[in-house]
Chains A and B, each alone.
Chain A
Amino acid sequence: MMAKLTTTTTLAALLAFGLSGTALADIKIGATLSATGPAAFLGDPEAKTLEMLVKDLNAKGGINGEKVDLVSYDDGGDPNKARTFATRLVEDDEVVAIIGGTTTGTSMTIIPVAEDAEVPFISLAGAIEIIDPVRPFAFKTPHTDKMACAKIFENMKTRGFTRIGMISGSDGFGDSMRKQCLAIVGDYGIEVAADERYGPQDADMTPQLTNIKGTDGIQAVLNPGFGQGPAIVTRNYHQLAIDLPLYQSHGVASKGFIDLAGKDAAEGVRLPGTALLVGDLLPEGDPQKPVVDAYKAEFEKETGTPVSTFGGYAHDAFAILVDAIKRAGSDDPQAIRDAIEKTSGLVGTTGTVTMSPEDHLGLDLTAFRMLEIKDGGWTLVE
């Protein structure tokens, strides 16, 4: 009896001590990423990035002196699993924020869980519907497809193109980007004279490209797509000797694309990419240069694999979250959410993030750099 009483008092004392705020437990951050499965090429660098950053942060003393504890699950790209893991994170692991949702599908199933539990969620997926309409607890780091379209059309406009052809993949990415591009193309005084599609598994796009080649007055071609499709398009484009500028999307902004398409075929292809790809080309004094260089050096040392834009999304999400927790001065999810929304001038790998109650992405077009492939490498287009 006596012993029990003592335990209760001790517990009560501990509780009171805890509530007084002097000794909080570790800050628990959750993640559900698609480290395996069809989206593994996105999720794997994201998972590795988070793990690396958390280790680093803790070695440097954590946030305001508190260690960060990362609980990470692999949803294999399955939205159903993502929802289960999100529920597990908020209900069982009791995390203060969730990073993740590698794909649009997984992100969209995590959102209702986060909204219900009032826990901030930072998605790493591209689709605009994650932040439009704005939901109080949903944020994201990658720029939207619409912004990529705008960047491309802006560049076309400066080169005086008014009539273009489009060849889009019918996978999720290509489909969504095609729609976004068609919605805004008119604003730039450009007309889409040919609109071709191809399946994600197709091995030859010569017929569609021949159609485009045969269409009168086309001045440039845009290929919204993902994975191997755009590489095949680029190769076929070269084989057909189509003598028009080819634009690719940010979805293939990686060294792998150049290798797949071949150095000769990829010569002169333009695409919008993030600063992360061209860290060494950035001029001294570019605000993103130190951030990009530091992440690239560390990631490549830690994992032995080259950095990708996708790992950069996770880097930025973590940076936004850590910054918000520091400013909030507490690990209360509501306070963190409010602080994330007030993020201002935070320099990440994808751009400079300034959020507001109406904008839960916080990037503008300067986040993108127009790149051109020359001699199998990237160059910046001014």
Chain B
Amino acid sequence: MRLSTKSATLLVLALLIVATPFFFPSAYYYRVGALVFVNGIAVTGLVILTGYAGQISLGHAGFAGIGAYASALGPTHLSLPPSLSVLLGAALSALIAFLVGRPILRLKGYYLAVATLGFGILVSMVLANESGITGGPDGVQVAELGLRDLLASLGLKLKAPVFWYAFSGVVLLVGAWLALNLYDSPTGRALRALHGSEVAAKTVGVDVPRVTLQAFVISAVYASVAGSLLALQNRFVTPDIAGYMYSIELVTMAVFGGAGSVFGAIFGAGILTLLPQALTFLAEYEQLMLGLIMVLVMIFMREGLVPSALRLIRGRGA
């Protein structure tokens, strides 16, 4: 029996999440792992938008910012529990993506990239300037999610990095599962058709504006959830999270690993999250290295690392 790509991806991901901690020498590695997963969630959203639908966004950190600040401000301003605030953030991101997406997605190529870039910068400016609500550029504290205390009261005491490793790992698995399901669904097929050729997709009856908007909204929710998880885990958030550098990092991760494949994109998130940690002694050259890696991948492996590698392994005959 041959495993489908979907089951294989989920199986490998689950195995990696469960097995790697056996090789962790200290709790610090859980923290890095949790960061990989959080970035992986946001990047999975970009797979749907960029890999499936072929649209680019340089502003998804804006949605991460909305998710992060929702989980920070929900408990203080609306006295919501943090868990509900995460959902509120996701709903808000979806709504904003819906409203912004309609006009923005009429643009193509560079124009779309610039418009989304502008959106992301706007969000971070609002977060920095509305200091009465958001705490301003110095940031704001985030309440404890409470799940770790609950587990502790049930006799399962976990260090913060360990808990966040497990929790983000589960969310990532669910996110990947949903994204993979979408791939084979009618919407997914419509998105891929439109990626291949917009004109052809239109001719066979795909409602192009509707499905691209759907992809935009879904990917915004992924980014929002990732932002919420990051804020809850850091217990503090500043407007930097919505900054354009983070948007560009996310796109780099997706493109580097392979924007067309969920596993590839998550792999890209992993590599680009680990590299700066492994190369702390080269901290000044971080941006330079990222640029170099991008250039090399674009020249030699245009589909991204994982899809190109798979092609090599499977051989030219297949």
Contacts and interface: CB of A to CB of B under 8 A. Distances in A.
Interface of A: 35-36, 73-74, 76-81, 83-84, 87-88, 90-92, 103-105, 108-109, 111-113, 116, 127, 129, 170-172, 175-176
B139 A80 contact: no
A87 B28 contact: yes
Contact of B238 (A74, A84, A105): A105
A112 B31 CA distance: 13
Interface stretch (B207-215, B276-284, B296-304, B308-316): B276-284
A92 B235 contact: no
Interface string B1-26: 00000000000000000000000011
Contacts of A112: 160, 234-236
A171 B35 contact: no
B131 interface: yes
Q: 7 nearest interchain CB pairs?
A: A172-B137, A91-B28, A92-B28, A105-B238, A172-B138, A91-B27, A87-B31
A108 B236 contact: yes
Contacts of A111: 236
B187 interface: no
B42 to A, nearest CB: 13
B30 to A, nearest CB: 8
A175 B234 contact: no
B129 A127 contact: no
B289 to A, nearest CB: 14
Contacts of B198: none
Interface of B: 25-29, 31-32, 35, 129, 131, 136-139, 141, 159-161, 230, 234-238, 240-241, 276-277, 280, 283-284, 286
In this complex, the member of B136, B161, B238 whose beta carbon has the largest number of chain A beta carbons within 10 angstroms is B238
B276 to A, nearest CB: 8
Contacts of A170: 129, 131
B294 to A, nearest CB: 19
A90 B161 CA distance: 12
Contacts of A113: 160
B254 to A, nearest CB: 19
Contacts of B141: 108, 129
B112 to A, nearest CB: 27
Given A87-B27, A92-B26, 10 more contacts: A74-B283, A78-B240, A81-B276, A84-B32, A91-B31, A91-B161, A108-B236, A109-B235, A109-B236, A170-B129
A346 B153 CA distance: 43
Contacts of A36: 283-284
A92 B236 CA distance: 22
A104 B161 contact: no
B230 A80 contact: yes
27 contacts: A35-B283, A36-B284, A73-B283, A74-B280, A74-B284, A83-B31, A83-B236, A84-B32, A84-B277, A87-B31, A91-B31, A92-B25, A92-B26, A92-B29, A105-B139, A105-B236, A108-B139, A109-B235, A112-B160, A112-B235, A112-B236, A116-B159, A116-B160, A127-B138, A170-B129, A170-B131, A175-B136
A84 B32 CA distance: 7
A103 B71 CA distance: 22
B131 A175 contact: yes
A105 B139 CA distance: 6
B27 A84 contact: no
B137 A171 contact: yes
A90 B30 CA distance: 13
A309 to B, nearest CB: 19
Nearest to A36: B284
Nearest to A78: B240
Nearest to A85: B280
Given A171-B137, A172-B138, A84 B240 contact: no
A1 to B, nearest CB: 28
Contact of B139 (A79, A88, A90, A92): A79
Nearest to B283: A74
A73 B278 CA distance: 12
Contacts of A87: 27-28, 31, 161
B28 A79 contact: no
Contacts of B35: 80, 84
Interface centre among A78, A79, A108 (most CB of B within 10 A): A108
A35 B28 CA distance: 22
Nearest to B32: A84
Contact of B234 (A79, A129, A176): A79
B136 A176 contact: yes
B240 A105 contact: yes
